[in-house]
């Protein structure tokens, strides 16, 4: 009861502060965060030290995957938010004639109080960019951080306040699941959630009573299409990168690599050599004990049904780390890279959404079969296509995914100008970029009627039907005969009803 009361007070104060914040011009709001990128530089070490999860390899990885993208996001928003959120006016030249002298404009108004349900794998960039987009759009923000990300989240909020954002606009809750649930029960206007598809379903269920809108950035099991024209040296080098990024705890890491059977032996040899090079053969990361319990039996089943292991997977259940958070603790196991070839869609391992350095190679007869196999996966967050630019571009429209990368992995999605979101079990809505900024608002239409011509205010007349039917034919008839007949009908109705 005490926690619910605290959350109620926080949301009430956030709502009051938001009513004043939305009255501030967008240009002035975006100017407030112009300093944010500089604060990222000042606070870079402290932010990095707040990453507690063992999947992160070190400061270098935090710079490239979180600090640089977040700084660029702040810079892009401060320069572009006013343009993106400006009102749009309708043209008088395109106004339907039956509306007369009506003019309209579409304003982008903030949603109100936005609840951000944070994630643990990229708590600086993902939570930070969502926070900045929501604030610049004119919202107040309530954040439920992921367990273990409390310090980083408070630091991001403090940096916004240091930029001149009113402190009552940003509230950081406890990191428990219950805190997020209670915030939705108290009442927010929009939820932005990054997490698993299972968690996304719970958010949808909890939002039903209030009809609260949501943006869900959910699980991924990303596909890679290797065309005959692909540069295999490039593909295998980037697969190694994608496999190891953040210790495998990346929702857009490559998971399913479709390779044509005639290329398979050569591809497997190159991939195995690349991963097992002396500088990388001893690479290891950490996975949660729950993830290990999920993966291990599925790997064994895949091997029993014909898949082959391209790496010497080592994971010692006896060697573990225990991480403690305010909401509890979790156990982590050291693991190597898990790369299997010969995986088929009927194996349980296929399309698994899991945070681990896991990669599966799926042999296909041709690219058409690869497209068919891909459709059997529930997730559509991101996909990569490798091959000649023209061939890769032709394949892209056939792939169900929110982002399609040609001849690259992961990195292009961090561009602050681009929206990011998924399809299917990977969620809906987008964050970041122009579309992500617009998603933090709702369109409000304001129409003005000028002049005294208000025919709909008159009582019905017997000739109204003839007049309007003629107008319909004249404006939209499929040929000139119908249009001419409509015009004659209009004049006939006017002659019989001069008033």
Q: Quick one: 303 and 403 in the same domain? A: yes
Q: Is 14 within 8 Å of 113 (Cβ atoms)?
A: yes
Q: Is 429 within 8 Å of 439 (Cβ atoms)?
A: yes
Pairwise CA distance, residues 287 & 304, whole Å: 23
Q: Quick one: 236 and 321 in the same domain? A: yes
Domain that holds residue 363: 222-413
Parallel/antiparallel/unpaired status of strands 140-144 and 382-386? unpaired
pLDDT at 39: 97
Query: CA-CA-CA-CA torsion for 372, 373, 374, 379, nearest 10 degrees?
Result: 120
Would residue 449 count as lying in a domain? no
Q: Quick one: 339 and 360 in the same domain? A: yes
Would residue 427 count as lying in a domain? no
- Domain count of the fold of the chain: 3
Would residue 422 count as lying in a domain? no
Using left for φ > 0, alpha for ψ between -120 and 50, and beta otherwise, residue 415 falls in: beta
Parallel/antiparallel/unpaired status of strands 222-226 and 382-386? parallel
Pairwise CA distance, residues 121 & 107, whole Å: 36
Low-confidence spans in the chain with pLDDT less than 50: 280
pLDDT at 458: 83
Q: Which residues contact 278 (CB under 8 A, 6 or more apart)?
A: none
pLDDT at 315: 73
pLDDT at 394: 95
Q: Quick one: 57 and 142 in the same domain? A: yes
Per-residue CA distances from 292 to 297, 319, 341, 358 (Å): 9, 12, 19, 11
pLDDT at 494: 82
Q: Quick one: 207 and 227 in the same domain? A: no
Q: Quick one: 368 and 391 in the same domain? A: yes
Pairwise CA distance, residues 473 & 484, whole Å: 8
Q: What share of the chain is helix, strand, coil (3-state, %, to 5)?
A: 45, 20, 30
Q: Quick one: 53 and 187 in the same domain? A: yes
pLDDT at 279: 57
Q: Quick one: 285 and 145 in the same domain? A: no
pLDDT at 308: 96
What residues does 313 pair with on adjacent strands?
none
Would residue 426 count as lying in a domain? no
pLDDT at 98: 79
Would residue 451 count as lying in a domain? no
pLDDT at 132: 98
Q: Quick one: 122 and 226 in the same domain? A: no
Would residue 136 count as lying in a domain? yes
pLDDT at 498: 55
Q: Which residues contact 170 (CB under 8 A, 6 or more apart)?
A: 14, 131, 135, 140, 141, 143, 157, 160, 161
pLDDT at 369: 98
């Amino acid at each position: 009861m005490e926690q619910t009361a605290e959350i109620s007070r926080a949301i009430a104060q956030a709502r009051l502060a938001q009513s004043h914040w939305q009255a501030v011009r967008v240009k002035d709001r975006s100017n407030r965060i112009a300093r944010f990128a500089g604060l990222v530089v000042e606070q870079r070490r402290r932010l990095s030290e707040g990453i507690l999860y063992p999947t992160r390899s070190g400061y270098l990885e935090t710079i490239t995957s979180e600090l640089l993208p977040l700084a660029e996001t702040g810079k892009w928003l401060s320069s572009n938010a006013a343009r993106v959120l400006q009102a749009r006016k309708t043209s008088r030249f395109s106004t339907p004639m039956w509306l007369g002298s009506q003019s309209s404009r579409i304003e982008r108004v903030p949603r109100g109080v936005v609840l951000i349900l944070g994630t643990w794998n990229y708590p600086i960039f993902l939570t930070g960019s969502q926070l900045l987009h929501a604030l610049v759009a004119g919202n107040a923000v309530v954040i439920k951080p992921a367990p273990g990300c409390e310090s980083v989240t408070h630091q991001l909020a403090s940096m916004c306040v240091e930029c001149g954002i009113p402190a009552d606009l940003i509230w950081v809750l406890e990191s428990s699941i219950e805190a997020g649930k209670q915030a939705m029960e108290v009442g927010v206007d929009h939820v932005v959630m990054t997490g698993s598809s299972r968690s996304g379903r719970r958010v949808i269920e909890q939002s039903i009573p209030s009809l609260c809108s949501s943006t869900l950035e959910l699980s991924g099991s990303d596909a890679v299409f290797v065309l005959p024209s692909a540069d295999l040296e490039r593909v295998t080098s980037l697969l190694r990168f994608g496999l190891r990024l953040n210790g495998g705890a990346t929702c857009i890491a490559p998971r399913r690599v479709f390779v044509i059977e005639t290329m398979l032996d050569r591809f497997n040899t190159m991939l195995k050599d690349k991963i097992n090079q002396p500088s990388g053969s001893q690479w290891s990361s950490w996975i949660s004990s729950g993830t290990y319990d999920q993966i291990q039996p599925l790997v064994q089943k895949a091997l029993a049904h014909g898949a082959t292991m391209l790496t010497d997977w080592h994971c010692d259940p006896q060697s573990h780390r225990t991480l403690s958070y305010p909401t509890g603790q979790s156990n982590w196991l050291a693991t190597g890279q898990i790369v299997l070839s010969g995986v088929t869609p009927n194996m349980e391992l296929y399309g698994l959404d899991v945070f681990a350095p896991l990669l599966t190679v799926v042999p296909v007869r041709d690219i058409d079969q690869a497209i068919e196999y891909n459709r059997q996966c529930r997730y559509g967050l991101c996909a990569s296509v490798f091959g000649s630019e023209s061939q890769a571009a032709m394949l892209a429209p056939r792939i169900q995914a929110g982002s399609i990368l040609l001849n690259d992995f992961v990195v292009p999605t961090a561009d602050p100008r681009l929206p990011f979101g998924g399809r299917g079990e990977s969620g809906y809505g987008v964050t970041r970029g122009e579309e992500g900024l617009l998603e933090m608002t709702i369109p409000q239409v304001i129409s003005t009627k000028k002049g005294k011509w208000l025919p709909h205010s008159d009582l019905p007349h017997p000739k109204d039907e003839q007049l309007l039917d003629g107008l319909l034919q004249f404006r939209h008839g499929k040929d000139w005969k119908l249009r001419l007949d409509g015009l004659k009908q209009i004049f006939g109705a006017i002659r019989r009803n001069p008033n």
